[in-house]
Structure 1
């Protein structure tokens, strides 16, 4: 389980949840889940990306929880969710299983929500798209800074000409077993270059660095293999509900070509937003834009109340 590291004050400090739950996935994995905001408000489910945690969504939670019920969870191995104990636990199937468990633990039968995923969280949406539970609960989807395939081949982290050599070196870097260690000035510079736009404020970089450096090395390495072999193009085409896409034009990890490909392939794309000069960490780099798009999707597509105000799930200590 990762160390709980995040900034303790400011807009990127995670607020205290209204409730904490434990969702149990298909293979028995236990997932840390939080809810924020009023029980009878429209529901929003947020899934974070690789090496991140619930803390990544702090800005969205602070804004949305005033009039939405915000449901967030730690992907397995991240934040307060224990790591997978078998190789099968690192898979797109596991991502879909985990999301399905969270939906079952927090939403009533037939209750609709807007589901938003960043990076690996967006891939989680694609992996789960064809499942009955996902179709039952997803009123609309927001995909932030993500891709469905060819992640390593398209990555621009290395300033080299595209080809086999760049792909091989990028794969080695992203899958490295070297611990990131404590947050340092040099570490923040590297993180900013690889994942954020040039105009990112020091506060944004600090918030992201603390979250990413908290991810245990084996977990980061384990999920890197899943991302390297990713092919969710079929799942992308099963996102039949209204789906919006957001991406930064300076994203080196999942360059904007992915967002354009996704938007063109979606059965019901309701808009592609390209954020000029921003990098991969769009919910942190452009919190108002991401939060605003979620609000628009809720207002347009999601029901305004729950069938039952009782929250499902197992209380977590």
Structure 2
């Protein structure tokens, strides 16, 4: 059971996994993996974002596990996956490959969903053989492929060098986040969620983010600062849907629109008015619906044709 079960309560508490396992990445990094739902059901793989964990997907896991095999894993250094000194986009792709190899049968297709750094993980792995073997379709939630600091709206200043410099300092801060206080909740809500987010949603996200080790948060901030996966997006040839909140300050809607324009096989784009960066928590039913649609359209058909 995730240690966050005792931190995040109520409807946002992460469900208990049917099975837990450890996937070992190419460089030896060990990744905590959870499998929910019935064996033999269509597979969904969930990849969370920077400073989060499998607990972030609680709503999606709870719903989808009724009739899907839901695989969620902690990115290296996050949640219950031990820290590793190697932090790079290629390491994220290696880790995803290890999870796919540990949980899916040869040739088995799945819908892969990623939220910011999780979406970048899917982009980084796009040209790899194992990704192509297992990816039936992808859902990219609130993510981008490059210029993450330059386009960020977290710092309320006019665009320019000063805003980029200050954004880099804020997102790459070494300071510990400390306990979840009223001030901390207000800051997190401003930076990552829409103005109408319910207090319970804000509390859940704050506790997940504050549980991320400071050194891990700092190390990965530098990877995101210099990230450039534009060329990998063009290799993402499987059906891909995009979801973004129009009030997203971390990865503003400009990123989603760039992805839609660059993806070889975009099958849908959804812009959610007034929602922020945490779309799977802010709009759980919409994200669940998009995943179910992708499974129904691309994974079930492929399984039937391959039978």
What TM bracket, shorter-length normalisation? Answer: over 0.9
Offset, 1:109: 0.4
Deviations 1:127-186 (A, max 9, x none): 000000000000000000000000000000011111111001100110000000111110
TM superposition score normalised by structure 2: 0.96
1:91 aligns with 2:82: no
Q: Is the 8 A contact 2:4 2:14 kept in 1?
A: no
Offset, 1:74: 0.1
Using the alignment, how far apart are the partners of 1:189 and 1:131 within structure 2?
Answer: 41
Q: Is the 8 A contact 2:246 2:271 kept in 1?
A: yes
In structure 2, what is the equivalent of residue 37 of structure 1?
A: 37
1:147 aligns with 2:144: yes
SS in 1 for 2:114: strand
- The correspondence for 2:211, drawn from 193, 210, 214, is 214
Offset, 1:30: 0.4
Question: How do 1:1-317 and structure 2 match up within 5 A?
Answer: 4=4, 7-84=7-84, 86=85, 89-303=86-300
Offset, 1:303: 3.1
TM superposition score normalised by structure 1: 0.93
- Which blocks of at least 5 consecutive residues in structure 1 are unaligned? 308-317
Offset, 1:306: 7.8
Using the alignment, how far apart are the partners of 2:240 and 2:161 within structure 1?
Answer: 33
Offset, 1:202: 0.4
Q: Is the 8 A contact 1:6 1:210 kept in 2?
A: no
Q: Is the 8 A contact 1:112 1:138 kept in 2?
A: yes
Q: Is the 8 A contact 2:5 2:13 kept in 1?
A: no
In structure 2, what is the equivalent of residue 310 of structure 1?
A: none
Q: Is the 8 A contact 1:46 1:71 kept in 2?
A: yes
Q: Is the 8 A contact 1:5 1:214 kept in 2?
A: no
RMSD: 1.5
Q: Is the 8 A contact 1:40 1:305 kept in 2?
A: no
Using the alignment, how far apart are the partners of 1:277 and 1:265 within structure 2?
Answer: 25
Offset, 1:11: 1.9
- Which blocks of at least 5 consecutive residues in structure 2 are unaligned? none
Q: Which structure would you say has the larger RCO, counting Cα contacts within 8 Å and 6 or more residues apart? A: 1
SS in 2 for 1:271: strand
Offset, 1:4: 3.9
